[in-house]
Amino acid sequence: MAIQKNVKIKNRKARFEYEILDTYTAGIVLRGTEIKAIREGKASIAESFCEFSNGELFVINMTVQEYSHASNFNHSPKSERKLLLNRSELKKLEKEVKNSGLTIIPLVLFTNNKGLAKMDIALCRGKKEYDKREVIKDRDNKRRLANIKKAFNN
């Protein structure tokens, strides 16, 4: 697979499962061939979340497939990866997570203009079941309205 110039890997479930309160852009500490695999688009953040350890923020359960052209020096696909944020942002996030029971979820994994891997993370609150049903109803209503408009214009 050819290396892409701009990679944008989204967590599509995040906006459905969680109510997003605040977003941040963080750098990622990568080892070895991880960046090459990400540039090939072989990464997934669908089931990942962020956790604090010793005052540092780590993304857990993020999958970066092994790079196909690497030898025995390949990386492990599911290892923890450190996120890079300003100290003030880290303290604010840690305080919010500890005090109010919120969680930090990755939204988008992307490469910037310089080719560096970045991640948009969000401070989130879990949605209740009835909130999810409302989202589904709104989506269905919009789809029906679009079909009616399309039929009316023809």
CATH at 48: 2.40.280.10
**pLDDT for 129:** 78
Q: Which domain holds residue 44?
A: 8-127
Q: Quote the percentage of the chain above a pLDDT of 90.
A: 36
pLDDT, tens digit (0-9, with 9 covering 90-100), for 68-112: 776 666 667 788 899 999 999 999 999 999 888 899 999 999 998
If one compares 127 and 48, the residue with the highest pLDDT of the two is 48
Number of domains in the chain: 1
- As a whole number of angstroms, the distance between CA 154 and CA 147 comes to 11
**Average pLDDT, whole number, for the chain?**
87
Reported pTM: 0.78
For the cut 70, the answer to whether the pLDDT of residue 9 exceeds it is yes
Whether 15 is in a domain gets the answer yes
- As a whole number of angstroms, the distance between CA 72 and CA 63 comes to 19
